[in-house]
Structure 1
């Protein structure tokens, strides 16, 4: 494996392992395995898990349904990282289980921000000017 591979993005293996970890986390959250007051009644989705190149770290991006108390839920999950790692390990069938770190998934927020920018008056005016141009 060359050093250039890191610049090209994640490997097929890291994508596959990330997907295995994502499914294991989603199943664990659906069962309610992690007990914490901050998680009580929360429906948590796991849109993405990004693995480090050495597969020792899994960055799990989560979002509670409705986006309510996301930071509080992430903090609670990070408090229970060792428990989560122990539950994920047997499901992914690897020699070493990755350390799991939780983060708030902000892709929906970012997409909304970009959408709002594209709909802004200034961008619409620029687009209308481009429509009037002839080549």
Structure 2
């Protein structure tokens, strides 16, 4: 029976983080250089915010966002349509035993930050924050 070194709910390992960042940088470079043979994809400016890898490093999920956050579905479609070519291009820059399957999702981090800013700027929340500062 294989031993599980990590308990359920543990965060990613250092290796997962390192490989995820390497994939993120390599994928960003490939997209910026326009190395993919798809004019629709090359016409887009896509930010790769984060890449998370599975524990066995065989699956990498890239969190992406097109410039300005517009045409999200078109960007996802173009990335997914070219995933095999992207996988080959990214794997050239990696020294892994296996080339990871790359999956794409929209990066919602910026939306959540905007929601948090909007929430913190509401009058009732500001009043509670200011009241908390006075009691300290």
TM-score w.r.t. structure 2 length?
0.88
| Residue in 2 that maps onto 1:8 | 10
Q: Note the residue ranges of structure 1 that are not aligned, 5 or more in a row.
A: none
Q: Which runs of no fewer than 5 residues in structure 2 stay unpaired? A: none
For 1:25-40, list aligned pairs within 5 A: 25-40=27-42
Q: By how many angstroms is 1:9 displaced?
A: 0.5
Question: Considering only aligned residues, what root-mean-square deviation do their CA atoms show, in Å?
Answer: 1.7
1:38, distance to aligned residue in structure 2 (A): 3.6
The one of 105, 113, 119 equivalent to 1:117 is 119
SS of 2:96's partner is coil
> How many residues of Structure 1 are paired with residues of Structure 2 in the alignment?
133
Equivalent-residue separation in structure 1 for 2:86 and 2:121 (angstroms): 41
Aligned twin of 2:21: 19
Q: Give the distance between the partners of 1:130 and 1:85, measured in 2 at CA.
A: 51
Q: Distance in 2 between matches of 1:35 and 1:26?
A: 16
SS of residue in 2 equivalent to 1:35: coil
Aligned pair partner of 1:81 in 80, 83, 97: 83
Listed as ranges, the matches of 1:50-89 within 5 Å are 50-89=52-91
* Counterpart for residue 97 of structure 2: 95
Choose from 105, 108, 111 the match for 2:107: 105
What TM-score comes out, normalization by structure 1 length? 0.89
Residue 16 to residue 131, structure 1, CA distance change in 2 (3 Å): closer
